[in-house]
Amino acid sequence: MNFNLNQSIEILERTPKVYESLLKDSIYDLEKINEGDGTWNGYNIIGHLIHGEKTDWIPRAEIILGNNESKIFEPYDRFAQEELYATQNTNELLIEFKTLRKQNIEKLLSWNLQEFDLQREGIHPDLGIVTLKQLIATWTIHDLAHLNQLSRAIVKYFSEDVGPWKKYTRLLNE
Amino acid sequence: MNFNLNQSIEILERTPKVYESLLKDSIYDLEKINEGDGTWNGYNIIGHLIHGEKTDWIPRAEIILGNNESKIFEPYDRFAQEELYATQNTNELLIEFKTLRKQNIEKLLSWNLQEFDLQREGIHPDLGIVTLKQLIATWTIHDLAHLNQLSRAIVKYFSEDVGPWKKYTRLLNE
């Protein structure tokens, strides 16, 4: 186990900045940055992160920590971004993600969570019993898992351009 | 083909900033961010990027564009970073990477490359004939391929902490 609340908060604070450094004012056409038909493009990824800030991580933590008897989470719509964020440009999406994340970290810090709190449980509609610690750990890696997806999509965008170097690029040989 | 020189330069300018946003002043122990025995950790990755700035991309472009009759590249040592950058801390490595990249982009811009130049060829010791365009495209995706590796390693670092959510995290089920 490697989870540490302060470290998780540090990562959660950083990742909007990482996405911003990669994409802000970009001359990419983010719609073209994808891994083929039916895969997410750059807009979908940021929209999905925004939707998580609004409906997933903190609302679920509030269910775990709150006084309601039912600890069952609302299902999370993994495809909501396709309709919700279709009209915003990259910079608008990045600002919204950063703003929501800042508010959510402030809320998380205001709870002054102790080890006892981190062991409290909620009920995931598909996965069953989960702890607050597992929820925060998942939130933490979620940004990075999608950074992994986005970086892979950009690499693949240039797959034909590298010519013989394709041989050395593992992502282009999967 | 998606290569565009201006876009490549933009990506090459951005990526040191992306690594900095992710790692600067970090409370990570970068040595522990890896994918198991024998895999690269965070230090190895930044060290490898630095070594590429020094010995790979621009020196090879200079062979392609220069007046020497031999167009054969020096082999690139993919493991040099293990000895060369073992004593520097994260912030020192990040600054060195950013500084070298800045100098290399200035050099690239100073050449005022035209489509004709981008078609000029060099000889890779293993891959054979390659063009300058392919070299620059490979340089461009190289940062992102290692960002992909680094983000995957951070996700895996927390693999036990997410509990049942492992099921939804593709990188933890490979």
Give the rounded distance of the alpha carbon of B98 from its chain centre: 12
The answer to whether residue A163 is domain-embedded is no
Chain B residue numbers touching A10 (CB-CB < 8 A):
26-27
Which secondary-structure segment (H or E) carries A33?
Answer: none
pLDDT at A86 over 80: no
Tens of pLDDT, residues A46-72: 999 999 999 999 999 999 999 999 999
Burial status of residue A115 (CB atoms within 10 A of its CB: 0-12, 13-18, 19 or more): exposed
The answer to whether residue B172 is domain-embedded is no
pLDDT at A172 over 90: yes
Chain A residue numbers touching B133 (CB-CB < 8 A):
161
The answer to whether residue B129 is domain-embedded is yes
The answer to whether residue A15 is domain-embedded is yes
A154-163, B6-15, B78-87, B90-99: range with lowest mean pLDDT: B78-87
Closest alpha carbon to B23 in A78, A1, A115, A144: A144
Tens of pLDDT, residues A92-101: 999 999 999 9
CB distance B153 to A147 below 8 Å: no
Q: Are strands B121-124 and A128-131 parallel, antiparallel or unpaired?
A: unpaired
Q: Which residues pair with A131 in a beta bridge?
A: A121
Q: What is the mean pLDDT of residues B30-41?
A: 89
The answer to whether residue B168 is domain-embedded is no
Q: Which residues pair with B129 in a beta bridge?
A: B123
Tens of pLDDT, residues B54-108: 999 999 999 999 999 999 998 877 777 677 777 788 999 999 999 999 999 999 9
The answer to whether residue A167 is domain-embedded is no
pTM: 0.95
Chain B residue numbers touching A160 (CB-CB < 8 A):
1-2
Confidence (pLDDT) at A8: 96
CB distance A37 to A112 below 8 Å: no
The answer to whether residue B83 is domain-embedded is yes
Cα distances (angstroms) measured from residue A160 to each of A104, A157, B2, B115: 41, 8, 8, 17
The answer to whether residue B38 is domain-embedded is yes
Assign residue A124 the CATH number of its domain: 1.20.120.450
Would the CB atoms of A162 and B28 count as touching at under 8 Å? no
Q: What is the mean pLDDT of residues B24-44?
A: 87
Q: How long a stretch of residues is chain B?
A: 174
Share of chain A above pLDDT 70, in %: 99
Would the CB atoms of A7 and B17 count as touching at under 8 Å? no
Confidence label for A132 from pLDDT (cuts 50, 70 and 90): very high
Which of A139, A165, A172, A174 to mutate to probe the B interface, most B CBs <10 Å?
A: A165
Nearest-CA distance from B98 to chain A in Å?
13
Tens of pLDDT, residues A17-38: 999 999 998 877 888 899 988 8
Domain that holds residue A98: 5-158
Total domains, chain A = 1
ipTM confidence score: 0.94
pLDDT at B114 over 90: yes
